[in-house]
Each structure stands twice: as C-alpha cells, then as structure tokens.
Structure 1
Amino acid sequence: MTVETMIEDERWHDVGIADLAERAVAAALARLAPGSWEVSLLACDDTRIAALNATFRGKAIATNVLSWPSDERGAAAPGAMPALPDPQDPELGDLAIAFDTCVAEARAGGVAFADHVTHLLIHGTLHLLGFDHEDDADGDLMERLETEILATLGIADPYRG
C-alpha cells in the first residue's frame, strides 16, 4: 500500500500528515481490501479545497475531505458492501484534506486533531472503495466501518457523545 502525499499547506508538515495518512489508509484497507493499493493525497488549505469542491461538486465552500475514486465502485443496493477493487488496477484514487476545516472541526468536537484527521482519511478511503452516505443504510454502514477501523488504531468512536 502506498500513499503519495503532496503537501501544499506547510502547516501539515507539523502534524506529520504523511504518517497519519499511511496509518489511516493502511487500517482501512487492511479491514476491507488487503492488497497493494495506491492512493494520492493533497494536504491543502480551505481556499484550495473550496476551489476543488466548486469545480468537482458545484459547491464553492470549504469542506474537510474530498475523494475521487479511480473507478465507480458503488454497491448494488443501499446498505450493501461495494465490490472489491480490481487488484490488476492498484490505483484507488485521490483524496484532498483541508487544514483549516479540520482544525475547526476538531476544536468544536473536543477531539484530538490527529484523531480527527485519521477519521477523515479513513472516511475518504471508504469513498475510494465505493462506500457512500447517500441514504441512511449506506451512512450506517460507513459509520460502523469507520468506528471499527478507528478502534483498531485505539481511537474512540467519533459518533458517540
């Protein structure tokens, strides 16, 4: 498993984003799709992610994490597991994460910054694997998987309390 991290916002260096990304993505893939996968990560600021969000989702606002799967991998039915990616094509896709939004969310939630970033990177990786939260059944499945994966890293359930 490889996570290629491109740091645009220097503040990400101080929190060790490359190490956090390796740990988070590896944990998600170990649980759901063991193999030699490739993920690219852009560690940026709110201005950059707002521009990406506007371009790709038509929403000109900052968000915490964005994902671009290399292939459509959605589940056949709400709440079902998506098909595993093709091991002959190791590229899963790209993620982008915004420093400012992550800091604000972690503070507002009273959560350690590294734990919050880890959660968001796991969340984004699940999107790369074809998971979504378009309906309640899919959202429940994603939350359950995120919680399970975070627990393997010693991180508390972000949906409790």
Structure 2
Amino acid sequence: MTLEIAIEDERWTSLGVEEVAQDAIARTLVHFGLDLETCEIALLACDDDRIAELNSEFRGKPVATNVLSWPAEVLAAEEPGGIPDMPEADFTGEIPLGDIAIAYDTCAAEAAAAGKPLADHLRHLVVHGVLHLLGYDHIRDPDATVMEGLEVEILGKMGIDDPYTIDDSL
C-alpha cells in the first residue's frame, strides 16, 4: 500500500498517526479483499483551521469537521443501502483511492467527550474516511446503516468498541 502522509499539525506525531493510520487503512482494505500492494491513499493530518478551509472550499461549509475525504473515482451505489462497486486498477496497475484529511482539535475533543482513547477515535475516523473513498456514504438513512455497520465490524476486529453505542454510565 502506498500511503502518503502530510503532517501539518505536530500534535499528531506524538499519537503515532503514521502507524495508526497505516494499520486502520490496511485492515479496512483487507476487509474488502483489496490488494494492499496496489492501493494508494494520501492522508493530511491537520488542525481545525486547515480543515475548516478545506470544508469551506470543497463543501461550502466554513466550519471545522473531524474528517474529509476525496475519492479518486465515484463508486457509490445508486440504490439506497446498496453496495458500491469495488475500485479497479488504472493503466499502471495501481488503485488510486483518494485523499483523507483529519483535524486534530475536533478529533481530540470528540474522543474526550466520548471518554475514548484518542488513538481509537483516530482509527475510527480513518476507517470512516477509507469507506468514503470506497463509495460508502451516510447521507441517506439506508446508506448510513450500511456504512456504520461496516465501521463497527472493522473496528471490532481491531478490538475497538462500537463507536455508535452510547455509554450511559459516563
């Protein structure tokens, strides 16, 4: 797998963003039976200011968010709750999947609010971002159900609890 990581916010370095992201991406791609040797992803580890700029530029929403994704190709299923087409290699034999950006401030705040380790939340957001690159989305309810189910399954294989279950004991 070719993973290019640009670290714009050094707080990600102490978390081991490179190792955590590489592991989460690899596990997600393996879940779908994709050849790790041919897949290409770029990851930007930034702060809230930078992701707000990107969110404004690409989505018209001038606010920070936790993760953004830019798929290399549109793979989404047309029918609600459908399964997207799997990506195919280009003429070079590579499978360019796209780009992901993750904001430290929002990620850290969400992890703290949920009482979860930051590294686990990072894994969740990376899996979430890769699923977007693979054509999954959560705009329509049936699509969200499919995507969340995949996230829970993949994260469970990493020993991470269901991120959508609310712990009332906190």
Q: Distance in 2 between matches of 1:93 and 1:48?
A: 18
User: How far off its partner does 1:2 sit?
Assistant: 2.1
Q: Distance in 1 between matches of 2:73 and 2:18?
A: 24
Report percent identity of matched pairs. 53
* Aligned residue identity for 2:87: P
Q: Distance in 1 between matches of 2:97 and 2:76?
A: 13
* Deviant stretches of 4+, over 6 Å: none
User: How far off its partner does 1:34 sit?
Assistant: 1.4
Q: Distance in 1 between matches of 2:103 and 2:20?
A: 14
Q: Distance in 2 between matches of 1:8 and 1:149?
A: 28
TM-score (norm 1): 0.97
Pairwise CA RMSD of aligned residues?
Answer: 0.9
User: How far off its partner does 1:33 sit?
Assistant: 4.2
Unaligned runs of 5+ in 2: none
* Aligned residue identity for 1:41: L
> Could you tell me which residue of structure 2 aligns to residue 104 of structure 1?
109
Unaligned runs of 5+ in 1: none
Q: Distance in 2 between matches of 1:27 and 1:103?
A: 22
Query: Relative to structure 2, which stretch is displaced further, 28-37 or 39-48?
Result: 28-37
User: How far off its partner does 1:149 sit?
Assistant: 0.3
> Could you tell me which residue of structure 2 aligns to residue 19 of structure 1?
19
> Could you tell me which residue of structure 2 aligns to residue 51 of structure 1?
53
The counterpart of 1:158, out of the listed 144, 159, 163, is 163
SS at match of 1:68: strand
- After superposition, the C-alpha distances for 1:94-141 in whole angstroms (9 at most, x for unaligned) are 000000000000001111100001000000000000000111100000
User: How far off its partner does 1:76 sit?
Assistant: 2.4
Do the aligned partners of residues 33 and 57 (structure 1) sit closer, same or farther apart at CA in structure 2, a change above 3 Å counting? farther
